[in-house]
Structure 1
Amino acid sequence: MNTPQKNTHWALVTGASAGIGSEFARELAARGVNLVLSARRLDRLNALADELKAKHAVAIECISADLADPAAARALVEEIHHRGIAIDVLINNAGYGVPGKLTAPAWQEHADFIQVLMTAPVELCYLLLPGMQQRSYGRIVNVASLAGHMPGSAGNTLYGAAKAFLIKFSQSLALENSSRGIHVCALCPGFTRSEFHDVSGARGVVSKMPDFMWMNADVVVRQGLDAVERGDVVYINGRVNRLLRFFGKHLPDRMALKMIQRQSKRFRVQDGK
């Protein structure tokens, strides 16, 4: 195991092998935070770790985990403890989208999605919070989405619902721990340039969105880490996204749903039943 260098804090980043997760790893390493990187693809984690150790004086551990497995979150935390590491910063980033309407995929795809995007983040918080509380220090970023603030869309049926859950969960967790030196933030980016849309099969659809709708992953991450450090409980990246959230919140429900219904085909894969 690597020996920690300048910083005694350790961060766990889930879904760290690509996209926003790898940018969290890069930014945290640049800030001197030691890292536990977790994802399914250990080869990509090791390559990222080599890159970061060459640039920054931080310790890095890589642990393969598939959070779709109901036993994975607890096994991940047990392995971290076995390696003698106490996690002070938790980045619940692992996630993806299931394209199509509700009955298009097999149920197991939805069950795995719920496990990865909802159950696993909550369980990781549940398992790691006691240590943070004992040390009177903790930072938790739950990567949600602008979609969690907007009306539901046709296609990717569970995505907005899961992200809305993360936002409400983060708010409650923040209130419960605000006096204990622990900051919790639901980070809500909009369209972000990363591998996310390739994995979900939506690249061909979302590539038609105008350039001003997009943000770079490194900017999203820097803003998110600054937000949780300030104590922001919910942070929406970008003025355009904050404006969209304003309209989504204040338009009458019927009007907002009609608008999303017309626009869903521009950013959601709707093939299937």
Structure 2
Amino acid sequence: MSPAPTRWALVTGASAGIGEAFARELAARRHNLVLTARREDRLSTLAAELTRAHGIAVDTIAADLAEPAAVADLCAELERRGLAIDVLVNNAGYGVPGHYLSQPWQRHADFLQVLVTAPCELAYRLLPGMQQRGYGRIANIASLAGHVPGSAGHTMYAASKAFLIKFSQSLALENRDKGVNVCAVCPGFTWSEFHDVVGSREQVSKMPKWMWMTAAAVAREGVEATERGDIVYVTGRANRFIKGLMKLLPDSFALAMVQRRSKDFRVQEPIQ
């Protein structure tokens, strides 16, 4: 993305994993940053580190995107601080383990608020300014899961990522002549806290090493793809191979294959 230090980038879910990696990648490219997540202590530590390392400005705003008013409050705070966002990385997310009916509805509702509603609302609120300035970058962090058949367990995860992919495609086409690039960045298995949080570390640790990428590599490829104007980008050759294979297989065969392997990467019953 543009190396101009006057550009401000907002990264959600920036306290760890892929979000933190995007923050580091953008900082190395001389973007000023606004970091948001629930864990303010981690944000402050990262902000101090990036400021020292790169000489950029880094603001932090603690927010819980599961709260319906969080995005409006976040954008109001950006306006109060006089920060115009040119780069938006919609990264905040997590998984809900177990089968659909094993969790209370409120947990699913919070999940949809964070992974679907918040990215859409942030884009809605920040896009007008990008259009007016004739420059913008929106990276929606989707997943390889959005390209392959759904599996038992984590029932809405793949569905939410498929939504982000389609949303990004339409938004990109609407804004391609306005200086705004929109990209659905689709990682596969990534070394991060994600699997520890959802309790699937034991399962996924059995997956072959060649299927994994570092968060730093995902962020680097994702930033470059967004800057190039790619609308959908799957990170890593192995993941692109899997996506291509799934497109060639009959739907019924692909679904059966994913279901056979789902126990290796999805928690299918709730963690007690």
> If the length of structure 1 is used for normalisation, what is the TM-score?
0.97
Helix, strand or coil: the match of 1:219?
helix
**Candidates 171, 183, 186, aligned match of 1:188:** 186
Amino acid at match of 1:195: E
Q: In the alignment, is residue 175 of structure 1 matched against residue 173 of structure 2? A: yes
Structure 2 equivalent of residue 142 of structure 1: 140
Q: Distance in 1 between matches of 2:52 and 2:270?
A: 46
Structure 1 residue 25: deviation in Å?
0.8
Structure 2 equivalent of residue 31 of structure 1: 29
Structure 2 equivalent of residue 132 of structure 1: 130
1:82-104, Cα deviation, whole Å (9 max, x unpaired): 00000000000000000111011
> If the length of structure 2 is used for normalisation, what is the TM-score?
0.97
Structure 1, unaligned runs of 5 or more? 1-5
**Candidates 222, 225, 228, aligned match of 2:226:** 228
Structure 1 equivalent of residue 119 of structure 2: 121
Helix, strand or coil: the match of 2:9?
strand
Q: Distance in 2 between matches of 1:272 and 1:60?
A: 38
Structure 1 residue 221: deviation in Å?
0.3
1:15-51, Cα deviation, whole Å (9 max, x unpaired): 0000011111111111000000000011100000011
Structure 2 equivalent of residue 250 of structure 1: 248
Helix, strand or coil: the match of 1:192?
strand
Q: Distance in 1 between matches of 2:245 and 2:263?
A: 19
Q: Distance in 1 between matches of 2:20 and 2:240?
A: 25
1:128-160, Cα deviation, whole Å (9 max, x unpaired): 000000000000000000000000011100000
Q: Distance in 2 between matches of 1:214 and 1:269?
A: 18
Structure 1 equivalent of residue 74 of structure 2: 76
Amino acid at match of 2:203: V
Alignment RMSD = 1.2
Tell me, yes or no, if the aligned pair for 1:103 and 1:272 is still in contact at 8 Å.
no
**Candidates 143, 148, 151, aligned match of 2:149:** 151
Q: Distance in 1 between matches of 2:228 and 2:269?
A: 42
Amino acid at match of 1:207: S
Q: Distance in 2 between matches of 1:79 and 1:249?
A: 43
Q: Distance in 2 between matches of 1:23 and 1:200?
A: 20
Q: Which range moves more in the overlay, 240-249 or 7-16?
A: 240-249
Q: Distance in 1 between matches of 2:108 and 2:8?
A: 32
Q: Distance in 2 between matches of 1:249 and 1:31?
A: 35
Task: Using the aligned pairs only, state the percent identity.
Answer: 65
Helix, strand or coil: the match of 1:240?
helix
Structure 1 residue 272: deviation in Å?
4.6
Structure 2 equivalent of residue 3 of structure 1: none
Structure 2 equivalent of residue 202 of structure 1: 200
Q: Distance in 2 between matches of 1:234 and 1:139?
A: 13
Structure 2 equivalent of residue 10 of structure 1: 8
Structure 2, unaligned runs of 5 or more? none
Q: Distance in 2 between matches of 1:81 and 1:32?
A: 22
Structure 2 equivalent of residue 166 of structure 1: 164
Query: What is the aligned length?
Result: 269
